[in-house]
Amino acid sequence: AETLAHASSTAGVGVDQELISSVPSWNPTFTERNFTDAEIAYCRAQPAPEASFAARWVGKEAVFKSLGVSSRGAGAPVKDIEILPDAAGVPTVVLHGEAKAAADAKGIAKVHLSLSHSETTAIAFAQAASS
Amino acid sequence: AETLAHASSTAGVGVDQELISSVPSWNPTFTERNFTDAEIAYCRAQPAPEASFAARWVGKEAVFKSLGVSSRGAGAPVKDIEILPDAAGVPTVVLHGEAKAAADAKGIAKVHLSLSHSETTAIAFAQAASS
Amino acid sequence: AETLAHASSTAGVGVDQELISSVPSWNPTFTERNFTDAEIAYCRAQPAPEASFAARWVGKEAVFKSLGVSSRGAGAPVKDIEILPDAAGVPTVVLHGEAKAAADAKGIAKVHLSLSHSETTAIAFAQAASS
């Protein structure tokens, strides 16, 4: 019964990539619309803030895809998906507002996420798990 | 018991990437050998057909990898893996022929898939789930 | 009960990418510190050894990320993560030493992995499964 309680299934996966140079993280209007205060503070404190913003930007899109809902192109509030590192540095997804409602409606309990950036490109992979 | 019925495990994962320019989607021999009629109609109706063909092309290879069978290099019929969007736009995998037989033999009930393309590169991630 | 025994959950995911040219696989000090003898023999026998080394290099980092522990930047022994193909060519992860201890402590029974390289870039995706 204990094992049963921990078992979960994949509800969806999401991948996204973007050139770091194409994410306008130098623009405060862009960052304030799409990132939470905590995300902005974190990214600005990193050695390469533009790479950190770009990684979170593609991370949010990958999470959207994993939820199986219409993506930001449809006007979904990107800021509702917050990505912050846990104590071990693992990017951790917290959903708010409409994104949380969509996840709850699908029985999605957790979204696993990983981020990576090379010198030019940011990439993210997300996996939504239902319980 | 209901939870048990929904629990599933990952049987394999697959990632693939390719330069969009290296996928000869302008060549009808290539597209007709590797894509179903529905896939061709869908890709041709997209704003950037070559990017859509390339994303599906790497998607099919990622699905092959997730099934844990020999890839297209061994002559596996790429057309047996059909990728079409569901109502929410999520790429959905339908297996036919040999690909379906291989998945059935491994108890794979579903393959989750996500596709992405930048201006230059298409990438896909697949996760095969057994039930 | 049989289904229950096979059910597993995702403990974490990991993605990593790198330019093939940035992985110094021509340097024996680098390869001997980071790859096992079996990995070195395998990569050297491939048509493009530098691409095979680079794919395993990002594969090891992706596995680290999926375990949710501090990455190689913290001095974790990369060699403790061994990646070799199984009979079907699927990259299979064997953990040794500290990496195995970290996985055991988290109840991680298996890490699924997929590798890909284009002409310029190697990419890897890993999924750690707990049982």
Residues of C with CB under 8 A from a CB of B: 3-4, 6-8, 10, 88-90, 112-116, 118-119, 121, 123-127, 129
**CA-based R_g, chain A, Å:** 15
Tokens standing for residue A56: 């979170």
The torsion region of residue C20 among left (phi > 0), alpha (psi -120 to 50) and beta comes to: alpha
- For C36, phi then psi, to 5°, come to -75, 165
pLDDT digits (tens, 9 = 90+) for A113-130: 999 998 899 999 999 998
pLDDT value at position A121?
93
Q: Residues C91-100: pLDDT tens digits?
A: 999 999 989 9
- CA gap C107, A131 in Å, rounded: 18
**How high is the pLDDT of residue A1?**
37
Residues 6+ positions from B122 with CB-CB distance below 8 Å: B17, B18, B19, B20, B23, B51, B54, B55, B57, B58, B115, B116
CA A35 – CA A43 distance, rounded (Å): 10
CB A13 within 8 A of CB A128: yes
Confidence of residue C60 (pLDDT cuts 50, 70, 90): very high
User: What is the ipTM score, two decimals?
Assistant: 0.89
- Tokens standing for A87? 């104590």
Q: Which of B72, B49, B65 lies closest to B122, judged by CA?
A: B49
- pLDDT tens sequence for chain B (131 residues): 344 445 678 899 999 999 999 999 999 999 999 999 999 999 999 999 999 999 999 999 999 999 987 655 445 689 999 999 998 889 999 999 989 998 999 999 999 999 999 889 999 999 999 87
**% residues pLDDT > 90 (chain C):** 76
User: Which residues of chain B make contact with C8, given a CB cutoff of 8 A?
Assistant: 9-10
Query: What is the residue-averaged pLDDT of chain A?
Result: 89
pLDDT reported for residue C5? 41
Read off the amino acid at residue B46.
Q
Mean pLDDT of A74-98: 88
Answer whether A9 sits within 8 Å of B10, measured CB to CB.
no
CA distances from C58 to A28, A42, C83 (A): 33, 25, 11
Nearest CA in chain C to B125: C125
- Amino acid letter, C29: T
| Residue B114 to residue A13, Cβ atoms within 8 A | yes
The tokens for A3 are 């094992």
A125 closest CB neighbour out of B7, B10, B125: B125
* Residues on chain B touching C116 (C-beta within 8 angstroms): 15-17
What is the DSSP secondary structure assignment for residue B75, as one 8-state letter?
T
Q: Do C125 and B123 touch (CB under 8 A)?
A: no
pLDDT for C7 equals: 65
Give CA–CA dist A114/C127, Å, rounded: 10
Min Cα separation C94/chain B (Å)? 15
Q: Write the DSSP string, chain A.
A: -HHHHH--EEEEEEEEEEEGGGS-TT-HHHHHHHS-HHHHHHHHTSSSHHHHHHHHHHHHHHHHHHHTS--GGGT--GGGEEEEE-TTS-EEEEE-HHHHHHHHHTTEEEEEEEEEE-SSEEEEEEEEEE-
Alpha-carbon distance of A95 to A97, in angstroms, equals 7
Q: Which chains touch C (3 or more CB pairs under 8 A)?
A: A, B
Determine, for residues C129 and B10 on separate chains, whether the beta-carbon distance falls below 8 Å.
yes
Task: Flag if C114 and B68 touch (Cβ within 8 Å).
Answer: no
C-alpha span between C65 and C12 (Å, rounded): 8
User: What's the pLDDT score for residue C8?
Assistant: 77
pLDDT for position A41: 97
The whole-number average pLDDT for the span A15-41 is 96
pLDDT tens per residue, range B25-51: 999 999 999 999 999 999 999 999 999
CB contacts, 8 Å: A112 with chain C = 10, 12-13
Question: A83 with A92: CB under 8 angstroms?
Answer: yes
pLDDT in tens, A30-74: 999 999 999 999 999 999 999 999 999 999 999 999 998 765 544
pLDDT at C1 over 60: no
* Mean pLDDT taken over chain C: 89
Count Cα atoms within 13 angstroms, Cβ side, for B126.
Answer: 32
